[in-house]
Amino acid sequence: MAKRKHFDYCRFMTESSGIKIITKSQLAELLGVSPSTIYRMIKSGLLPPPLRSPKGYIQGWLSGTIEMWQSDHNQY
């Protein structure tokens, strides 16, 4: 019996709707800081926590959320 490929609904929805998910490493590069600094910014409340998939395998921020955050925090 052939193994059935798992359908990734979260990935399908983000790709088909044009929503872009930004990972921690992408966000660090965008802001010019290290990934550990991103963690510290989340912990201190400076940055909103990332969204997580139901099982927690995928986490990141919606690009619109980061764009709004950047407009509120002009230093980054």
For residue 63, give the CATH number of its domain: 1.10.1660.10
Q: What sign has the CA pseudo-torsion 10, 11, 16, 17?
A: positive
Q: CA–CA separation, 63 vs 65, rounded Å? A: 5
In a domain, 2, yes or no: no
| Total-model pTM | 0.70
Q: Are 52 and 62 in contact (CB under 8 A)?
A: no
Domain containing 21: what range?
Answer: 9-72
Comparing 28 with 6, the larger pLDDT belongs to: 28
pLDDT, tens digit, for every residue of 18-74? Answer: 778 899 999 999 999 999 999 999 999 999 999 998 887 889 999 999 999 999 887
Number of domains, the chain? 1
State mean pLDDT over 6-11. Answer: 65
Residue 61: count of CB within 10 angstroms of its CB: 22
